[in-house]
Chains A and B, each alone.
Chain A
Amino acid sequence: MTNRADSGRVERVNGPLVEVSGLSGVAALDVIEVGPLRIAAEVVAIHEGRLTAEAFEYTGGLRVGDEATAQGRALSARLGPHLLGGVFDGLLRPLEGGPTWLEPGSLVARPSTRSWPFVPTPLELGAHLESGTLIGTLMSESGVQHRVLVPPDVFGKLTWLSGAREVAESDSVATIDGRDVTLFELWPVRRARPARARLRTDEPLVTGQRVVDLFFPVAQGATAAVPGGFGTGKTMLLQQIVKWADVEVVVFVGCGERGNELADAVADLMALKDPKTGRDLRERTVVIANTSNMPVMARVASVYTGMTVAEYFRDMGYRVVMLADSTSRWAEALREFSSRSGELPAEEGYPASLSSSLAAFYERAARVTTLGGGEGSVTLIGAVSPAGGDMTEPVTSQTVRYVRCLWSLDRDLAYARHYPAVTWRHSFSLDDTLIANWHAAQGRVGWSESRARALALLAEADRLASVVELVGIGALPSRERVVMLSGRLLREGVLQQSAMSENDAYCSPKKQSALLDMVLAVHDRCLALVEGGLPASAIEEIDLTAVIRARDETGPDDDAGVTRLRDEVLARMGTS
């Protein structure tokens, strides 16, 4: 095994599983290319000089005796200024401009013909530069300024720095420690990009979705999982976050999901403007699409590729959200391969390594001090598609252990067209206290208290609902009847939020609080009225549709409008 053979031979083909002999100097997880179409495959095992690899494309027609060559590196993402606004496959090959039908070998990462206007940072020649140092920026037309950094594995003496000029893909912009730095770099996708330090996650990622922001908030740099049976609204919720999250960069990974959905999402992004920058939302988004009919093994790669892209922008000092729809398809791809390679299955056929793979993946989300000393974050939100809607199945139950937030989607709510169907019963946010402190520091002292009251009301209303099913509402005391009523107002007026509504698809934090406070104020007034002797039935006769309609009848940021409506309703209700 001393001399390196750069050409080997295919010995066995069983679907994506390919065995190769005669290639040495190859490490586990390196990429090799097999057959006349040079299909990429990742080496997963090496045994007595024989490599077992999983191919990223359909291997039909691949024969014993076909040639195999080593790429000499692990599966790597080509990172650069071409990413924002693009649509890529799981191996980060551009899909736009590619062939209509993805025959094996037909999709290639062509060198970009574009060039970018590079503007250097004023730096002294001869200075010692650390990894992550800003050496220039690209004055791109996109809303997100592309920052050119010293790559993570490069540091040392700066001997040359380009002046301001148009730079093409192959041009270098600096020489550091004798190495040329270009706008592009390759990074092995399974390896987390380094940062200087992990920071506490205490600032919320505002999604504009009330049930998330008010009740189960996710922090910038934290993680959330969205489990739910089919049709419960995972994709819709993730797409809402793609559109409205207050971050600079969004990475959306469609992992084993629908082609039509992706086409729709991309069309939506082109039609919508970023409320902050006024630019097409698409310009801040990277879409990675490995739909369910695309090769299964590239699905595994796609989540790591997406994560790597997210970290790349994090390192520039941006807040990034990465969404994966659906992580279950990734886990299933792991299962498919492990069963093909004869690995001993653990639960439901998944490999025993499932749990550690999930943990390692979610751990890549973080808020960090970057190598360059700035601050950036990757928030990771993964949809989970439990088989049979069963939350105890391995992928769901393992994922729940590793995430900071759980937004559980409930089939009954979805069937009742209560969207987003996030159930307040089985969802959580472990960062709620930190985020409450953050709100308090922003002057919203009541945030935490309103939230707690609302959650308690919802829980009590649920408990009462099961009593009412048995005895009828008439048997409840007045106070409890008011709780039932307020529970409904909370569900319909605060929690429900239609992604299709012009006014309500996005709701600003101020309007969110105004809506919640309106319902709580109405609740208090109702309680005061029954205490004052008004029968509950009379309270139930009061027309409160205005409370429910407020979310839709005021603009996305119109908290004043909500407050006005609240005052009108309260005035109409009178006092006891």
Chain B
Amino acid sequence: MSDAGVPVTAHDVDAPIEYTGATRVGGPLLAIRGVEGVGWDEIAAVRLPSGELRHGLVLEVSGDIAIVEVLQGTGGIDPELVSVAFEGRPFDVPVGDGWLGRVWNGMGEPLDGGPPMLAGQRRPVSGAPLNPSQRDVPSNPVFTGISVIDALATLVRGQKLPIFSSAGLPHLELAAQIAAQANVAGENFKVVVAGMGLTHADAAAMREVLESRSASGDLVLVLDSADDPVVQRVLTPRVALTIAEFLAFERGQHVLVVLADVTSYCEAVREVSAARGEIPGRRAYPGYLYSDLASLYERCGRIKGKPGSVTLVPVLTMPGNDITHPVPDLTGYITEGQIVLSANVHATGVYPPIDVLSTLSRLMRKGVGEGRTRGDHMALAAQIIASLARARSARELADLIGAEALTETDRIYLDFEDAFYRDLVNQRPDEVRSMEETFERAWRVVSVLPERELTMMPSASVATNYRGSLRADNAHADVIEHDATSESAEHRG
């Protein structure tokens, strides 16, 4: 019963009672009086005299009044002429394989000129919580083809691992690269990307990078633009996650979901909350932002006895580069680690500009090792991170009291750090590196250090992989501490 040629896609209206006239219009809200049998959080079809159809959600029912939040805003709505029909179901989308290979707007309507998603079984986009006792522990890697991530902060199937960034850094580029390249070594793999509040330029760039994966029918792109109504933005990630859950747990696929930019999403939540007149919490974000974000982020994981998985990579920009801002802070409290981008690394021209010492994949230990990546993976990562920490304190010391005050060993660590960014981290945005290549590079970098410094590595692994000292002059290293068991004598002057 859609008239006036307005495409009704995700929601067909089955002629429930229509109420004409609102007693109040303001912000995104309409108040309708005289309603009966309206349930909380159900959807409403809001019809304008022009025939235009908008969607609304019931925010509150009280006596015979229903408060409806209009997803596209109330602009142009005349309270006397608007009519509202309540549909007796929550906001939902059809599920199926038809989403793949296509581009959709934030509410699941086609953006690519193709047909709307055919109505199949519908699922409420808010999803239901997964019974925690039926979760399976994440224990296998997702390969991103990006050395620094695969080597040091391995993404694990079923994990949620956010990217923390700031304005001006290439986080969208990195997110698109992950979405384009990620794989699980031959098994079924699908990607769902939800853009939230993206500028048209960013959205176009994203579409371009993801084109070939989309063309092969392995990717769903849901794009909410910066100029789309904010209420709609609140639904976008939920649409994406509903599709992902279906593909993972009913189609047995491993699904990666990339959500960018969560900060825009949170701003939308804040704006909607303010319009509802709710009491603001920290930085005017509503007090329930933690639970709201959790209702997205917790939708990843694995289920006992089922083959698929949902892995989540939310991308967010830290306003003012402040990690204590509610968006990164609450995200960090929910996710399983974080990948942090750094303006300082970016300034050196290295891509991806990752601050390795603040980066951590909490589930990495479960996803790597013998039979998954390599037996010495965890030790190698720990060695690199500890060595970078040492390099950083050496650099700080050099800044304070001069480089000449450094010991020779400290100077080798500085060389190690340079080699690390040059040979392991730095990579083209369209370059896919295999795990073999990543390990090969990691060992080349580690081999800049004298062998005696590799105290965290099993000696068998050192014996087969260590390249001999790759740094010409470290034979003069000034030894302060060393591993008594390693063959360190040859390195001493």
Nearest-neighbor residue (CB-CB) of B156 within chain A:
A260
CA–CA, A95 to B290, complex, Å?
Answer: 23
CA–CA, A264 to B290, complex, Å?
Answer: 22
Decide if A388 touches B334 in the complex (CB within 8 Å).
no
Nearest-neighbor residue (CB-CB) of B322 within chain A:
A388
Question: Chain B residues with Cβ under 8 A from A390's Cβ?
Answer: 324
Decide if A349 touches B60 in the complex (CB within 8 Å).
no
Decide if B303 touches A95 in the complex (CB within 8 Å).
no
A21 to chain B, nearest CB (A): 10
Question: Chain A residues with Cβ under 8 A from B121's Cβ?
Answer: none
B368 to chain A, nearest CB (A): 13
A371-413 contacts to B (CB < 8 Å): 385, 387-390
B199 lies within 8 A of chain A by Cβ = no
Decide if B158 touches A260 in the complex (CB within 8 Å).
yes
B183 to chain A, nearest CB (A): 22
A293 lies within 8 A of chain B by Cβ = yes
Decide if B134 touches A100 in the complex (CB within 8 Å).
yes
A545 lies within 8 A of chain B by Cβ = yes
Decide if A348 touches B484 in the complex (CB within 8 Å).
no
B148 to chain A, nearest CB (A): 17
Interface string of B376-405 (1 = CB under 8 A from A): 000000000110010000000000110001
CA–CA, A296 to B401, complex, Å?
Answer: 53
CA–CA, A565 to B294, complex, Å?
Answer: 49
Question: Chain B residues with Cβ under 8 A from A275's Cβ?
Answer: none
On whether A256 and B294 interact (CB within 8 A), knowing A60-B42, A100-B131, the answer reads yes
CA–CA, A416 to B393, complex, Å?
Answer: 11
A533 lies within 8 A of chain B by Cβ = no
Decide if B483 touches A545 in the complex (CB within 8 Å).
yes
CA–CA, A122 to B326, complex, Å?
Answer: 61
Question: Chain B residues with Cβ under 8 A from A15's Cβ?
Answer: 40
Decide if A62 touches B39 in the complex (CB within 8 Å).
yes
B354-374 contacts to A (CB < 8 Å): 357-358, 360, 362-363, 365-366
A236 to chain B, nearest CB (A): 9
Nearest-neighbor residue (CB-CB) of A266 within chain B:
B133
In this complex, which of A96, A98, A100 has the most chain B Cβ atoms within 10 angstroms of its Cβ?
Answer: A100
B294 to chain A, nearest CB (A): 3
A540 lies within 8 A of chain B by Cβ = yes
Question: Chain A residues with Cβ under 8 A from B127's Cβ?
Answer: 101
The answer, among A14, A101, A229, for a CB contact under 8 Å with B131, is A101
Interface string of A532-556 (1 = CB under 8 A from B): 0000000011011110000000000
Decide if B133 touches A95 in the complex (CB within 8 Å).
yes
Decide if B357 touches A415 in the complex (CB within 8 Å).
yes
Decide if A12 touches B61 in the complex (CB within 8 Å).
yes
Decide if B287 touches A335 in the complex (CB within 8 Å).
yes
On whether A231 and B326 interact (CB within 8 A), knowing A14-B60, A64-B62, the answer reads no
Interface string of A1-45 (1 = CB under 8 A from B): 000000000011111000100000000000000000000000000
A396 to chain B, nearest CB (A): 14
On whether A292 and B481 interact (CB within 8 A), knowing A11-B63, A100-B134, A349-B280, the answer reads no
In this complex, which of B41, B159, B357, B483 has the most chain A Cβ atoms within 10 angstroms of its Cβ?
Answer: B41
CA–CA, A345 to B481, complex, Å?
Answer: 57
A285-343 contacts to B (CB < 8 Å): 289, 291-296, 329, 332, 335-336, 339
B476 lies within 8 A of chain A by Cβ = no
CA–CA, A95 to B282, complex, Å?
Answer: 34
Nearest-neighbor residue (CB-CB) of B303 within chain A:
A100
B190 lies within 8 A of chain A by Cβ = no
Interface string of B48-78 (1 = CB under 8 A from A): 0000000000011111100000000000000
A259 lies within 8 A of chain B by Cβ = yes
CA–CA, A544 to B483, complex, Å?
Answer: 10
Decide if A59 touches B41 in the complex (CB within 8 Å).
yes
Question: Chain A residues with Cβ under 8 A from B279's Cβ?
Answer: 339, 345, 349
Question: Chain B residues with Cβ under 8 A from A545's Cβ?
Answer: 455, 481-484
Question: Chain A residues with Cβ under 8 A from B159's Cβ?
Answer: 260
Nearest-neighbor residue (CB-CB) of B127 within chain A:
A101
B199 to chain A, nearest CB (A): 28
Decide if A260 touches B135 in the complex (CB within 8 Å).
yes
CA–CA, A470 to B62, complex, Å?
Answer: 66
Decide if A13 touches B290 in the complex (CB within 8 Å).
no
B281 lies within 8 A of chain A by Cβ = yes
B318-333 contacts to A (CB < 8 Å): 324-326, 329-330, 332-333
Decide if B90 touches A61 in the complex (CB within 8 Å).
yes
On whether A13 and B60 interact (CB within 8 A), knowing A60-B39, A258-B334, A389-B329, the answer reads yes
A490 lies within 8 A of chain B by Cβ = no
Question: Chain B residues with Cβ under 8 A from A500's Cβ?
Answer: 365
B298 lies within 8 A of chain A by Cβ = yes
B288-318 contacts to A (CB < 8 Å): 288, 290-291, 294-295, 297-299, 301, 303
Decide if B484 touches A263 in the complex (CB within 8 Å).
no
Decide if A64 touches B480 in the complex (CB within 8 Å).
no
B129 lies within 8 A of chain A by Cβ = yes
A560 lies within 8 A of chain B by Cβ = no
Decide if A60 touches B484 in the complex (CB within 8 Å).
no
8 A-B pairs whose Cβ atoms sit less than 8 Å apart in the complex: A63-B40, A87-B133, A95-B133, A230-B329, A259-B130, A259-B298, A349-B279, A545-B483
4 new A-B contacts at CB < 8 Å, known A11-B63, A87-B133, A260-B137: A102-B128, A230-B333, A292-B294, A335-B281
Closest 5 CB pairs of A and B: A292-B294, A388-B324, A230-B332, A293-B298, A263-B135
Q: Which residues of A contact B (CB under 8 A)?
A: 11-15, 19, 58-65, 87, 95-96, 98-103, 229-231, 254, 256, 258-264, 266-267, 289, 291-296, 329, 332, 335-336, 339, 345, 348-349, 385, 387-390, 415-417, 469-470, 472, 500, 540-541, 543-546
Q: Which residues of B contact A (CB under 8 A)?
A: 36-42, 59-64, 88-90, 124, 126-138, 158-159, 278-282, 287-288, 290-291, 294-295, 297-299, 301, 303, 324-326, 329-330, 332-334, 336-338, 357-358, 360, 362-363, 365-366, 385-386, 389, 400-401, 405, 455, 480-484
